[in-house]
Amino acid sequence: MSTISKAIAAGVGGGVSGAGVGAVVLPDGSPWYAYVLMAAVTTLIPAVLTYFAPANKPSA
């Protein structure tokens, strides 16, 4: 699997789990941009970390 597809999968997974966590964690009456920021953070951080992570290759 290429690095790009792994990063996309991590971003999707982070976004889905972040949406669930954001709905529970953010208090009622939070401004709309709090939800956008939560979604951006939970989507971008896993995607960027996965993209730049070294490959898991067995040592010789």
Query: What is the pTM for the complete model shown?
Result: 0.63
pLDDT tens-digit readout, 3-59: 677 777 878 887 777 777 777 888 888 888 888 888 788 888 888 888 887 777 776
Q: Residue 39's pLDDT is what?
A: 79
Residue 2 has pLDDT above 80, yes or no: no
Rounded Cα gap, residues 17 and 41, in angstroms: 11
Q: Residue 22's pLDDT is what?
A: 74
- Residue 1 token pair: 């699997």
Amino acid at 42: T
Residue 60 has pLDDT above 70, yes or no: no
